[in-house]
């Protein structure tokens, strides 16, 4: 039985990636899935598909209904079925399936020709080709997943690292959704009392004290802020961290890149202004996906090529998740009052003192201490020539991102821009409501802001949604998911 308001047609798609493989899967989902599958499946047991126990695999021939055997002169081959492939068929009765509808999967040989033919047969038997993400969209529309869980399906597929996968799996289990629902229900409860107060304002009855209202809202806004605090790091952990090596010409940025990746990737010379293009290399340290970006050294120059390199270098720094400012230890030691580049506000950065192999050993320690005192932060002495300090640098880089505690906010981390924007809207609306209450504004205005906050939170889980939002989310999926 279709669920109320559920899609009435049955969709089909190839669920495995394009190309050759050991196994390829076509799946169909919808109210007519078993009838459609029965038309193209010939079970070896001669039983009918819909009579089989759900979630069991059965050997079958899958036949073509769309391409009858070419007629020959002697036989009635036009009406004869043509076997596309032999495979296993699994029938999953709704609502115990991914989409919560009846689903049938054909596990065939992993040939695009076979899979396309099976799909064509499904269409000829009454199915429709699925849109990108339509299976997951149905799981959402049928109430099996909330919207944040549906998005976590895509994050799981795209997870580039152990961390990305952990966050996606927690979101898929509904942890973010439950947390946001909880915040929303607090707002909705307060809102209903504010509105009851408006309805009965003539009788001068109050359903919530100003003190309770303020403390309830402050507490919620604080929890939203904590979630927002995880957003920047959460996104970096999911998509990979861009670590930009920056500094003046000749300080050893390209040498550092080469040493960190154990390869002769970037050109190194003693001519200042060697690097022009951005050079990117991907590494995985401590389970974190990291892209190292070597850049052109910053200085005033009349060389147009170098100017363009410097422009790109500045852009790269603006987009970096962590800037590693490389300075030349010898140059710094020569300078009476050394100054360091001012970091872009809000960007994580580290200062690396390179070429320490050139410093007289007895001057090192007091020199480092003096610099740390001046900078009021740790500096990392390294030498790309001897390899000194490189392991410590890797640890320093990864620990800047691993400090994010998964246990903060009960393990809930925000990685999705859509969620972040919605949380910011809720945050602003509640702050606005708070200032209205404190300023003695009419309850009607407070109620407008609380509605806005509840709607913004509702958008995250999809209890408030529009076709536009769904279209945007599911169009990022592949067909067959
Ligand atoms: N002694 C010593 N020399 C180094 C070290 N690291 C780099 N150098 C030398 O410093 C010079 C400049 O190195 P690069 O890696 O090209 O410097 P860069 O910062 O990329 O320079 P630009 O691309 O011009 O901005 C080269 O001659 C390197 O051999 C080090 O740790 N010790
Ligand atoms: Mg360079």
Q: Quick one: tokens of 398?
A: 């990864």
Distance 352 CA to ligand 2 centre (A): 15
Q: Whose CA is closest to atom 12 on ligand 1?
A: 250
Lookup result for tokens 């690292």: 161
Q: Which residue ranges in the chain fall short of pLDDT 50?
A: 1-4, 69, 71, 73-78
Kindly list the structural domains of the chain, giving each domain's residue range(s) and its CATH number in brackets, ordered by start: 11-144 (3.30.1360.120), 162-230+410-462 (1.20.120.430), 242-402 (3.40.50.300)
* Residue 214, helix vs strand vs coil: helix
User: Distance between CA atoms of 320 and 344, rounded to whole angstroms?
Assistant: 10
Residue 26 CA, ligand 2 centroid: distance in Å: 50
Whole-number Å distance, alpha carbon 59 to ligand 1 midpoint, is 65
Q: What is each CA distance from 148 to 166, 234, 384, in whole angstroms?
A: 15, 15, 45
Query: Which one, of 67, 45, 71, lies nearest residue 114 by Cα?
Result: 67
* Ligand in closest contact with the CA of 273: 1
Pocket of ligand 1 from Cβ distances under 6 Å: 249-255, 268-270, 272-275, 296-297, 354-355, 357-358, 383-385
Task: Judge contact between 257 and 265, C-beta under 8 A.
Answer: yes
What is the model's pLDDT at position 355? Answer: 97
In b/e form, how buried is each residue of 40-58, taking b as 16+ CB within 10 angstroms? bbebeeeeebeebeeeeeb
Ligand nearest the Cα of residue 301 is 1
For the record, the structure tokens of 469 come out as 């939002």
Q: How far apart are CA 160 and CA 413, in angstroms?
A: 17
Nearest bound ligand to CA 296?
1
Please write the tens of the pLDDT for every residue from 69-127: 454 544 444 456 799 999 999 999 999 999 999 999 999 999 999 999 999 999 999 99
Q: What's the pLDDT score for residue 204? A: 63
Residue 5: what pLDDT? 56
Q: Give yes or no for a contact between 91 and 37, defined as CB atoms under 8 angstroms apart.
A: yes
Backbone angles phi, psi at 328, to 5 degrees: -90, 115
Closest residue (by CA) to atom 9 of ligand 1?
252
d(CA 155, CA 168): 6
In this prediction, residue 22 carries a pLDDT of: 94
Q: Given the CA of residue 354, which atom of ligand 1 is nearest to it?
A: 31
Buried b (16+ CB within 10 A) or exposed e, 178-196: ebbbebbebbbebbebbbe
Residue identifier of the C-alpha nearest atom 3 of ligand 1: 355
- Cα 470 from Cα 147, distance rounded (Å): 9
pLDDT of residue 74: 46
Closest CA to 128 of 232, 9, 236: 9
| Ligand 1 centroid to residue 68 C-alpha, Å | 70
Helix intervals (H) in 22-83: 33-40
Please identify, by atom number, the ligand 1 atom nearest to the C-alpha of residue 268: 16
Q: Reduced to 3 states, what is the DSSP secondary structure of residue 434?
A: helix
160 vs 181: CA distance, rounded Å: 28
Its pTM stands at 0.73
CA distance 377 to 479: 50
Q: Whose CA is nearest to atom 5 of ligand 1?
A: 355
Report CA(357)–ligand 1 centroid distance (Å).
Answer: 12
- Residues around ligand 2, an ion, CB closer than 5 A: 253-254, 274-275
Token pair, residue 168, equals: 């996606």
Nearest Cα residue to 248 out of 321, 376, 338: 338
Ligand 1 center–CA 462 separation, angstroms: 53
The answer to whether the beta carbons of residues 228 and 423 sit under 8 Å apart is yes
Probe ligand 1: pick from 384, 389, 393, max atoms within 8 Å of CB?
Answer: 384
Q: How far apart are CA 185 and CA 183, in angstroms?
A: 6
* 429 alpha carbon – ligand 1 mean position (Å): 52
> Are 163 and 237 spatial neighbours (Cβ–Cβ below 8 Å)?
yes
* Predicted pLDDT of residue 403: 64
Judged on CB neighbours under 10 Å (0-12, 13-18, 19+), 332 is: buried
Could you identify the atom of ligand 1 that is nearest to the CA of residue 326? 19
With beta carbons less than 8 A apart as the criterion, state whether 58 and 92 touch. no
Give the number of residues written for the chain: 481
SS3 content of the chain, % helix, strand, coil (to 5): 50, 20, 35
Q: In angstroms, what is the span from residue 245 Cα to ligand 1's centroid?
A: 13
């Amino acid at each position: 039985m279709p669920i109320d308001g559920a899609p009435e047609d049955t969709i089909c798609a190839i669920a495995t990636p394009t190309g050759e493989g050991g196994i390829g899967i076509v799946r169909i989902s919808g109210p007519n899935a078993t009838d459609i599958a029965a038309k193209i499946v010939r079970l070896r047991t001669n039983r009918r598909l819909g009579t089989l126990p759900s979630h069991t695999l059965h050997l079958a021939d899958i036949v073509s209904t769309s391409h009858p055997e070419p007629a020959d002169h002697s036989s009635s081959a036009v009406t004869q079925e043509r076997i596309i492939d032999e495979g296993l068929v699994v029938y999953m009765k709704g609502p115990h399936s991914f989409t919560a509808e009846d689903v049938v999967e054909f596990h065939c040989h992993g040939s695009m020709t076979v899979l396309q033919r099976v799909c064509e047969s499904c269409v000829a038997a009454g199915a429709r080709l699925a849109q990108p993400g339509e299976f997951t969209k149905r799981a959402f529309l049928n109430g099996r997943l909330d919207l944040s869980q549906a998005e976590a399906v895509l994050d799981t597929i795209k997870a580039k690292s152990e961390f990305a996968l952990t966050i996606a799996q927690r979101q898929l289990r509904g942890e973010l959704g439950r947390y946001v629902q909880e915040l929303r229900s607090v707002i909705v409860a307060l809102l209903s009392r504010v509105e009851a107060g408006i309805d009965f304002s003539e009788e001068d009855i109050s359903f919530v004290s100003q003190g309770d209202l303020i403390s309830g809202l402050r507490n919620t806004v604080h929890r939203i802020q904590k979630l927002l605090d995880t957003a920047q790091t959460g996104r970096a952990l999911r998509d990979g961290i861009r670590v930009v090596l920056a500094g003046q010409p000749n300080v050893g940025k390209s040498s550092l890149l080469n040493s960190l990746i154990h390869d002769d990737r970037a050109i190194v010379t003693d001519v200042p202004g060697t690097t022009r293009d951005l050079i990117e290399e991907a590494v995985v340290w401590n389970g974190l996906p990291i892209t190292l970006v070597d850049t052109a050294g910053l200085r005033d120059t009349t060389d147009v090529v170098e100017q363009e390199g410097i422009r790109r270098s500045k852009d790269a720094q603006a987009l970096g998740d962590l800037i590693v400012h490389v300075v030349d230890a010898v140059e710094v030691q020569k300078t009476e009052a050394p100054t360091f580049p001012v970091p872009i506000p809000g960007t994580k950065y580290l200062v690396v003192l390179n070429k320490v192999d050139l410093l007289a050993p007895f001057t090192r320690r007091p020199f480092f201490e003096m610099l740390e005192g001046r900078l009021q932060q740790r500096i990392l002495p390294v030498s790309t020539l001897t390899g000194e300090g490189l392991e410590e640098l890797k640890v320093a880089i990864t620990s800047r991102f691993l400090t994010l505690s998964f246990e903060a906010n009960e393990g809930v981390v925000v990685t999705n821009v859509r969620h972040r924007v919605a949380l910011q809207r809720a945050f602003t609306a509640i702050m606005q409501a708070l200032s209205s209450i404190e300023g003695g504004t009419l309850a009607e205005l407070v109620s407008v802001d609380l509605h806005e906050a509840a709607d913004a939170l509702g958008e995250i889980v999809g209890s408030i949604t529009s076709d536009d939002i769904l279209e945007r989310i599911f169009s990022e999926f592949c067909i067959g998911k």
